[in-house]
Amino acid sequence: MGIHAIVGGQWGDEGKGKIVDHFSASADIVARYQGGANAGHTVYIGDEQYVLHQVPSGILSPGTRCLMGTGMVIDPVALAEEINDLADRGFQCQEQIGIAYNAHLVLPVHRMLDGISEEDSRDKTIGTTRRGIGPAYTDRSARRGIPVAAMLDADIFEAAVKEHLRYANALITDVYNQPSLEYSEFQDGLSAARDIMLPMITDVSRELLDALATEKKIISEGAQGVLLDIDYGSYPYVTSSHPGTSGVSVGLGVPPNAVTRSTGIFKAYCTRVGEGPFPTELLDATGNRLREAGGEYGATTGRPRRCGWFDAVLGEYCASLNGFTDLCITKADVLGDLDEISLCTAYQNSSGDFLNLQNLEGAAPRYETFTGWKSDISEAESFDDFPEEFKQYLHAIESALHAPVSLISTGPERTQLITK
Ligand code: IMP
């Protein structure tokens, strides 16, 4: 059966949480493979809103096993809080969650360093979520990080955190000229988080390999989006992991050919938070209209998102890079009252033989204009209910990205999904 990957095709915030939740209902396992508390996956069930940061969105489907893979950087204190909040709302996570023993930990000092480096004039401002993601992945690569497995023994864990703090404090005081952190400041929080996580620590790779062998239905849940990939995104304005399909294999410990379907999730327009190039950004009334109509404020940080037209040049890049077998278009209802809708199909001044994502600043989009459908599609019950103008817009996206649209999300509710 293989793994069905759900991957963000833009700069994150495409609405992956809802789509993962949709597929989770019939899945045995949902697994996160990268990122950490920088994600904010919003799922609505009736009037109830759930914003999940580290726990996979499958948690809202009782009986679905939720795995947190090796490629993640896990903030134990924030995770404990999320698990406790879910328990207060009736979702008991203990049995459902498995945490990879070789994922890495985000410590309070990583969050602090993320914030300090964003503010320090010697460092580039990326507009990070300040959740400690970059510093934790840096420590992992520099081989001074702390894997989850250190938690298995209380003494080893304490020694590892203290040893790491010695290094981090030297950086904080000597390089950044800031007051050092004391272990005692976060000792209790880490210890309480360890108690919650301990029974969940497991060999995620082995569990998935066994599940693949027994034809279990597995969903991999991407966080962020392909344009924020550390290697294939708009570097340096990226996150520090691999949100794309190729991240699934290394981030979960499964062979690359275990992924048999990869659905690219695209908002019907584009948004971006943080710094970095955004060729189709709208800095006018239409951009503001999209932000307000789409509620485009970050689920993790509350920051207003930058808004713009769908960029099919970057869309095609992401679709081919990730082998998207099909596409899901979200938030199309937000475009419902516009007279005209633009789709970027080329860059006027693109030079050279390849699309250089490190040099998008001057890219001048060339647009194809579509007549707006001027109607509320949120009530549609089948694809046939959609207005012709909207079908034409979808068709143009399919043609540009060379992949079929399989699913359309027409509103925030769990049930507002149309299969094509
Ligand atoms: P970091 O992942 O917190 O290091 O942030 C790096 C960049 O990725 C910044 O531009 C963030 O705004 C962006 N980013 C990180 N997580 C998300 C997300 O879940 N949605 C959208 N953007 C994100």
- Give pLDDT, residue 62: 87
Pocket probe mutation, ligand 1, options 13, 73, 128, max atoms within 8 Å of Cβ? 128
Choice from 129, 140, 221, 271 to test ligand 1 binding pocket (greatest atom count within 8 A of CB): 129
Low-confidence residues in the chain, pLDDT < 70: 350-353
Read off the pTM: 0.96
User: Who lines ligand 1 at CB under 6 A?
Assistant: 11-13, 38-40, 126-129, 131, 133-134, 223-224, 228, 237, 239-240, 273-274
Residue 74, sorted as left (phi over 0), alpha (psi -120 to 50) or beta, turns out to be beta
Distance of CA 33 to the CA centre of its chain: 10
164 is catalytic: no
Structure confidence at residue 353 (pLDDT)? 64
HSE value, Cβ hemisphere, 13 Å, CA-based, for 285: 1
Residue bearing the CA closest to ligand 1, atom 16:
38
Phi/psi at 173 (5° precision): -85, -45
Catalytic, 353? Answer: no
CA of 165 to the centre of ligand 1 (A): 25
Output the CA 238–ligand 1 centroid distance in Å: 7
pLDDT confidence of residue 293: 95
Q: Which atom of ligand 1 is nearest to the CA of 38?
A: 16
Tell which atom from ligand 1 comes closest to the C-alpha of 130: 3
What are the structure tokens assigned to 87, written together?
A: 């328990």
Instruction: Put residue 130 in one of left, alpha, beta given phi > 0 → left and psi -120 to 50 → alpha.
Output: left
C-alpha span between 401 and 214 (Å, rounded): 34
CA 129–ligand 1 middle distance (angstroms): 6
pLDDT of residue 326: 98
